[in-house]
Amino acid sequence: MKRTLESLDGGAIEGQRALVRVDFNCPVKDGRVTDNTRVRAALPTIEFLRSRGARVVLLSHLGRPKGGPDPKYSLQPVVNELERLLGSPVAFLRDPLSEQAVTETRRLPRGGVAMAENTRFLPGEEGNDPALAARLAALGDFYVNDAFGSAHRAHASTEAVARLLKPAVSGFLMQQELHYLGDALHRPKRPFVALLGGAKISGKIDLISALLPTVDHVLLGGAMACTFFAAMGLETGKSLVEADRVELARRLLAESGTKLVLPGGAVIAQELKAGAETRTVRRDQIPEGWAVYDIDPETERDFGTKIEGAGTVVWNGPMGVFETPPFDHGTLAIAGAMAAATGNGAVTVVGGGDSAAAVAQAGLENRMTHVSTGGGASLEFLEGKTLPGVAALDDV
């Protein structure tokens, strides 16, 4: 168990500078944040610290700038959005390594907020450089990590700094993510169903292998299912099949018994575009020249029944190409089944960036027990891997 923000007593917070790593890696277009989900997700931590009289100094990365400052990836638009959400000014530390930045953090009023420019502009961030971490540590008196979405990376602002600046505790979002994902994985209400999809099996093999021993069922959709169809000796047309994983898929099928459930049929087309001619076929009837782009209605019902009868469902990866209608049908139907399961008292957890986007597209975010804000981080967590940004925090 990791030490939490709540465990700090008032004296440790009041008047102190809280250096808070958040994940404000939001989509930005024309200088504006187009989706502020991640900023909103960190507000409970920020508001808690402000209400306890802390001076709040925020760190985040944005995008993937190539080794130095790049105006395209400036956090200025995020600072503007944060000011709007908080209804109070946010000091922007354009050069977080300067003496002036340190001075500015000391001059913040109690409850004041500052945000440092993109941590990935700083040399050594991605190399987890302890020298950079020491400079960052000078911006605060204690450390809070609320950036679950960045916790799978050992970077100076997520890992090395947490080893230098103490106490180092988890924020509310981090705590919530670890709680829901951890419980689903380690204390699942049964039946425990994993629902996996998405494009590539190669990115999810570790997840399948890690989940198989503990789950009651793995329901497999998306393009991933096609590699399994190929392993069963079925024609897959021009579906996305990873030839170098067919053998592995064959082994997983042999080892998993009846746990692994594949779609019985598919919605196929000759080209991937909105309004393309589609056919619904059994999985052993996929013609050459056609590709699988969604699960069929019968699979929707089959998976739906298993989901609605589950005690715990973990979902990672869309069932089809949900960005291109009508191939969103299967994914949206499954999102509906998840919502129904939540209503039945099941614990429903969504991990994975595209899966979370699909749930939002269905307007069902509030009907899931938990939608993770961390794509890669939730995947690694569910694979049973240690997240360096979490490991570096204080133990209780």
Residue 204: closest CA among 267, 162, 148, 260 = 260
**Contact residues for ligand ADP (CB under 6 A)?**
197-199, 203, 222-223, 240, 292-293, 316-318, 320-321, 323, 352-355, 375
Residue 53: closest CA among 2, 85, 9, 84 = 9
Give the helix ranges, DSSP H, for 172-272: 172-186, 205-211, 224-231, 246-256
Out of ligand ADP, Mg ion, none, what residue 317 binds, judged by CB under 5 to 8 A for its kind, is: ligand ADP
Out of ligand ADP, Mg ion, none, what residue 65 binds, judged by CB under 5 to 8 A for its kind, is: none
Separation between Cα atoms, residue 77 and residue 88, nearest integer Å: 15
What is the contact mask toward Mg ion in residues 341 to 360, using x (rule: CB under 5 A)?
------------xx------
Query: Cα 371 to chain center, whole Å?
Result: 8
Residue 290 contacts residue 300 (beta carbons within 8 Å): no
**Residue placing its CB nearer to ligand ADP in the complex, 75 or 291:** 291
**Residue placing its CB nearer to Mg ion in the complex, 354 or 380:** 354
Q: Which residues, including other chains, have CB under 8 Å from residue 391's CB and lie 6 or more apart?
A: 159
**Residue placing its CB nearer to Mg ion in the complex, 52 or 370:** 370
Helix axes 375-382, 172-186, angle to 10 degrees: 40
Out of Mg ion, ligand ADP, none, what residue 137 binds, judged by CB under 5 to 8 A for its kind, is: none
The secondary structure of residue 1, as a DSSP letter, is -
In the complex, least distance from residue 241 CB atom to ligand ADP, rounded to whole angstroms: 10
Out of Mg ion, ligand ADP, none, what residue 70 binds, judged by CB under 5 to 8 A for its kind, is: none
In the complex, least distance from residue 345 CB atom to Mg ion, rounded to whole angstroms: 29
Residue 144: closest CA among 163, 167, 178, 111 = 167
**Residue placing its CB nearer to ligand ADP in the complex, 74 or 316:** 316
**Residue placing its CB nearer to ligand ADP in the complex, 199 or 360:** 199
Max CA separation in the chain (angstroms): 70
In the complex, least distance from residue 260 CB atom to ligand ADP, rounded to whole angstroms: 17
Give the SS3 label for residue 174. helix
In the complex, least distance from residue 115 CB atom to ligand ADP, rounded to whole angstroms: 27
Separation between Cα atoms, residue 181 and residue 371, nearest integer Å: 10
Out of Mg ion, ligand ADP, none, what residue 374 binds, judged by CB under 5 to 8 A for its kind, is: none
Out of ligand ADP, Mg ion, none, what residue 292 binds, judged by CB under 5 to 8 A for its kind, is: ligand ADP
**Residue placing its CB nearer to ligand ADP in the complex, 143 or 381:** 381
**Residue placing its CB nearer to ligand ADP in the complex, 215 or 223:** 223
In the complex, least distance from residue 152 CB atom to Mg ion, rounded to whole angstroms: 14
Residue 326: closest CA among 283, 280, 365, 288 = 280
CA triple 390-92-23, angle to 5 deg: 25
Separation between Cα atoms, residue 322 and residue 319, nearest integer Å: 8
In the complex, least distance from residue 281 CB atom to ligand ADP, rounded to whole angstroms: 13
**Residue placing its CB nearer to Mg ion in the complex, 70 or 323:** 323
In the complex, least distance from residue 380 CB atom to ligand ADP, rounded to whole angstroms: 11
Separation between Cα atoms, residue 122 and residue 56, nearest integer Å: 20
Query: Cα 212 to chain center, whole Å?
Result: 21
Out of Mg ion, ligand ADP, none, what residue 355 binds, judged by CB under 5 to 8 A for its kind, is: ligand ADP
Number of residues that bind Mg ion (CB under 5 A): 2
Identity of the residue numbered 332: L
Catalytic residue positions, numbered: 38, 200, 353, 376
Give the helix ranges, DSSP H, for 87-171: 99-107, 130-137, 161-164
In the complex, least distance from residue 135 CB atom to ligand ADP, rounded to whole angstroms: 34
Q: Which helix (H) or strand (E) holds 40?
A: helix 37-51
Residue 315: closest CA among 375, 264, 361, 275 = 375
- Binding of residue 380 to Mg ion (CB under 5 A): no
- Contact positions toward Mg ion, by CB under 5 A? 353-354
